Structure 1
Amino acid sequence: MKIAVYGATGMVGAQIVKESLRRGHEVTAVSRSGAPVPGASACRAELADVRTFANIVNDHDAVVLATVPSRTSGNHSEWLAAMKAAFESAGSTRLMVVGGTGGLEIGGVRLCDSPGFPEAYRAEARTMAAVYDEIRSAPDTLDWTMLAPAPAMQPGARTGCYVTAGDSPAGSSITVPDFAVALLDELESPAHRRSRFTVANPDRGTDTAAGRH
């Protein structure tokens, strides 16, 4: 499969590139810097560059969007507009979107709207949740899946084991390598087309869905 990964030099994107290469896929690593990535073709591009995005879409079997809004003083509306433009330009190419935990729900309340949610991350979480609202209203022709992590996602071991859930957290944490395993499993064997799901590493004694690789 020929896969393009936007945000390829970030914490999550880099692991998605690594897992894709591990499985023998042809990868284009897209980033603002165009930094070289061993084993992949590097591409320097902004998500907001619609022309380049359209060219990448036409030349790949799948595109992964692993970008986030500004974590400094940047305007989130610019990133949200770029994501919306990407959805409108993807055509029939498979689109995998790395979502945010804050848009998940417990008891019908989004985590980003709950009183205990960290205030420092609330604005970003609500913007990520808005992306889900945008993509689920996209035309039926858009072949998309959004994968949201567990509330805690951090570096760690690649176990290849994870549990899944729909709109509520599947567990408390996930390692970044196992998040990448779940994303590639979905790309290779789609089970959540035009929907969102979430993953977590299993707690002891929990039945697991194991990555195949």
Structure 2
Amino acid sequence: MNITIIGATGMAGSALVTAALQHGHSVTAIARSAEKLAQLPQDEHLTTRAQDAFGLTKADLSHSDAVIDAFATAPAQAYLHVDLAAHLVAQLRETTSPRLVFILGAGSLLTGADHHLFVHDIEQDPNAAAFVAVPQNQLAELTFLRTVTNVNWVGVSPAADFHAGDAQSALYGTDELLKNDQGKSETSAGTMAEAIIAELETPKHHQVRFTVADN
């Protein structure tokens, strides 16, 4: 499978590059920094491109079987999550390939007895002002994606704590914030990467969001 990874040098993106190569896929890694791309593991099945994701065209994307949006940005520009999703969808309207995969936030998941949005809990954090724009805009990103019916897309949300780390055994869900038996709501980048590659190899979700957490 030919997989394009946008944001390939970030926490999630670099884990995806590693996982995809380990599974025998060919990877095109896209990021803004050529210097950071050069730090990815050398592999004959890895191609790197230093490019602004907003410059990607249908021709750039169409050679891939899947395009994964692992884009990350500063909270002050969190709206770019929505803008990039809209750009990628616009390039691929009325297509079934490549498949678009979006890494979303945990804020759009439901939690509590009343099934409220987790982003509302995040907003109560006294330090939230520094970062809350990211989960708010990734909720907006999912809201937009749910209107898209003519592109082959899927979204994946991590648990509350999304951090670097190796893959663990995983819990899967749909729209509820997951916790393991110890009450922890965590997803490692390795777990996220393995979940996405598994979804690409054996599709189980179409035009919906699912969630994965460390068991």
TM-score, normalised to structure 1, is 0.86
The reply on whether 1:23 has 2:23 as its aligned counterpart is yes
Given that 2:10 and 2:72 are in contact with CA atoms closer than 8 Å, whether structure 1 keeps it comes out as no
Gaps of 5+ in 1: 203-213
Distance 1:10 1:200 in 2: 19
- What is the match of residue 43 of structure 1? 49
- What is the match of residue 209 of structure 1? none
Given that 2:104 and 2:138 are in contact with CA atoms closer than 8 Å, whether structure 1 keeps it comes out as yes
Q: Percent identity?
A: 24
Which amino acid is the alignment partner of residue 58 of structure 1? S
The equivalent position to 1:132 in structure 2, one of 132, 142, 148, is 142
1:78–1:13 Cα change, 3 Å = closer
1:173–1:78 Cα change, 3 Å = closer
The equivalent position to 1:165 in structure 2, one of 170, 173, 193, is 173
Q: Once the 2 structures are TM-superposed, how far is the Cα of residue 104 of structure 1 from its aligned partner?
A: 0.8
The reply on whether 1:113 has 2:120 as its aligned counterpart is yes
Q: Once the 2 structures are TM-superposed, how far is the Cα of residue 78 of structure 1 from its aligned partner?
A: 4.3
What is the Cα-based RMSD across aligned positions, in Å?
1.6
Given that 2:102 and 2:154 are in contact with CA atoms closer than 8 Å, whether structure 1 keeps it comes out as yes
- Figure out how many residues of one structure are paired with residues of the other and give that number: 196
The equivalent position to 2:164 in structure 1, one of 150, 155, 159, is 155
Gaps of 5+ in 2: 180-184
TM-score, normalised to structure 2, is 0.85
The equivalent position to 2:62 in structure 1, one of 12, 35, 58, is 58
Q: Once the 2 structures are TM-superposed, how far is the Cα of residue 196 of structure 1 from its aligned partner?
A: 0.4
1:164–1:87 Cα change, 3 Å = same
Q: Once the 2 structures are TM-superposed, how far is the Cα of residue 141 of structure 1 from its aligned partner?
A: 2.2
- What is the match of residue 192 of structure 2? 179
SS of residue matched to 1:102: coil
